[in-house]
Structure 1
Amino acid sequence: MEAAIERIMQTYDLLLNCSAAASDEARAKVTAYLTTLVEAGEKDPHRLTVCGLTYLRQLDGSNDPVKAGYTGL
């Protein structure tokens, strides 16, 4: 799990140029989320990485299709 968290944070920090405090907060949130996934039985580090990145992107709103300009028309 630690390797997945490190990969998530490296990638997330590249995507968002955030402060150290924001990065620490994101790390705490993604660690709690991944702990839940591991306890539920997920063991694949690649899948954990993708799930963790998706989770952080949803939290910060950067995964919002409306903000990205997709209206469905």
Structure 2
Amino acid sequence: MEAAIDRIMKTYDLLANRTAAASEEAREKVTQYINTLVEAGEKDTHRLTVCGLTYLRQLDGSIDPVKAGYTGL
């Protein structure tokens, strides 16, 4: 589980520059989320990594095209 969290945070930090406090907050949130997935039975490190990255991108709005700045025009 720690390997997945470390990989998630390394990749997430590469996507955008964040303050140390923002990265720490993201780590806490993704750790709770990954714990939930592990408790539900997920053990695949690669799948946990993808799920964790998707979760963080949803939290920060980078998956939402409108929040990302795309207007469709």
Aligned-partner Cα distance in 2 for 1:67–1:34:
25
TM-score by length of 1: 0.91
Report the alpha carbon displacement of residue 14 of structure 1 after superposing the two structures with TM.
Answer: 0.3
- Number of residue pairs matched? 72
Q: Deviations over 1:32-63 (max 9, x none)?
A: 00000000000000000000000000000000
Gap regions ≥5 residues in structure 1: none
Structure 1 runs of 4+ with >6 Å offset: none
| Larger displacement relative to structure 2 (4-13 or 62-71) | 62-71
Report the alpha carbon displacement of residue 66 of structure 1 after superposing the two structures with TM.
Answer: 2.9
Gap regions ≥5 residues in structure 2: none
| Larger displacement relative to structure 2 (59-68 or 29-38) | 59-68
Alignment RMSD = 1.5
Report the alpha carbon displacement of residue 70 of structure 1 after superposing the two structures with TM.
Answer: 6.6
Identity %: 79
TM-score by length of 2: 0.91
Name the counterpart of 1:19.
19
